[in-house]
Amino acid sequence: MLIIPVKEGENIDRALKRYKRKFDRTKTMRQLRGRKQFTKPSVAKRAQRIKASYVQRLRTQEELG
């Protein structure tokens, strides 16, 4: 449960913006969407390897010029 203390005289829009930012940082929606359907461990590992190779390729290209 997220608790956002609202200061006296603070605009409600600003407090709502802080709430949304804090909610995004907790990655709650990402977890809910991930639980919606089951992903086999082998498929998850394969996706993780593909992502790692992509990131590595980007870093080597950046180093080379």
Residue recorded with tokens 């907790």? 26
On the question of pLDDT at 57 being above 90, the answer is yes
The pLDDT score that the predictor gives to residue 1 is 79
On the question of pLDDT at 55 being above 90, the answer is yes
Residue 52 pLDDT level (bands cut at 50, 70, 90): very high
| Mean model confidence pLDDT for the chain | 92
Tell how far CA 15 is from the center of its chain: 21
Vertex 24: Cα angle to 26 and 6 (nearest 5): 90
Residue recorded with tokens 């590992």? 45
Average pLDDT of the segment spanning 11-17: 93
- Whole-model pTM? 0.51
